[in-house]
Amino acid sequence: MVFTLYFLLVDGKHLAGLVVSAIPIERTYTTMFMEKFSESGRQLILGYFLVSIYQALAMFILCLIFKLEGALVLAVLTAIASFIPMVGTSLVWVPTSLILGLSGSVGRAVAFFLLAAFFVAFSDNFIRPMVLGEKLKIHPLLIFFAIVGGLRIFGINGLLLGPLIVVIFFAAAGLYEQIDDIQAPEPDKKETSSP
């Protein structure tokens, strides 16, 4: 995966040029589609990044409230873990809760667990669709179903693939709308003389 990502980043423009030239559609339309798709892809990545920042900030604040050492480290780990499908941020806040419990602070551990589950993990189900919907100009409920459907069909990779398929669909629909506007015949401009 990392190996593939490296070559996509290095040779991305060249590969995009090959794809555009291979598609049997007029080059103007293909270029328009690729521009829409790349803009939507950038917005998708930005949306995921913003969600990870929110989750890291929520974790940082919780660590400060509970006076935990290494709050900044836990926040950075939370931001990184938010990109890991299925388990996500629970890789950070669940062990932190267990360590609190094992150190003798069972009440604090339960309180931390519940607050982290709500503000860091569970809120992700609402914030991610809202942020992605706003960035991609797509309704948050549709993004939510894209994420859930993507996870169901593609498994772990569906977290990214679900919204990406929706982005491709909307980019294609937007392109079709533009083509339709370009090719639509102008109405006849006949002057009608009044009797």
Rounded Cα distance between 172 and 23, Å, is 14
Give the lowest-confidence range in 26-35, 84-93, 116-125. 26-35
Least confident stretch, 62-66, 154-158, 165-169, 182-186: 182-186
Higher-pLDDT residue of 169 and 8 is 169
Rounded mean pLDDT of 17-28?
Answer: 74
CB-CB contact of 75 with 41 (8 Å): no
The pLDDT value given to residue 8: 63
Tokens 């991609």, residue located: 136
Entry pTM: 0.68
What pLDDT score was predicted for residue 183? 65
pLDDT at 190: 52
Share of the chain above pLDDT 90, in %: 26
Q: What is the pLDDT of residue 112?
A: 94
Asked whether the predicted pLDDT for residue 49 surpasses 80, the reply is yes
Copy the structure tokens of residue 3: 């190996």
Minimum mean pLDDT range among 10-14, 39-43, 92-96, 137-141: 10-14
User: So what's the pLDDT on residue 1?
Assistant: 47
Residue spans of alpha helices (H) in 66-154: 71-81, 90-102, 106-116, 124-136, 140-154
What is the Cα–Cα distance from 14 to 43, expressed in whole angstroms? Answer: 22
Identify the helix (H) or strand (E) that includes residue 104: none
| pLDDT higher than threshold 80 for residue 168 | yes
Give the length of the chain. Answer: 195
What is the domain partition of the chain in residue ranges?
29-180
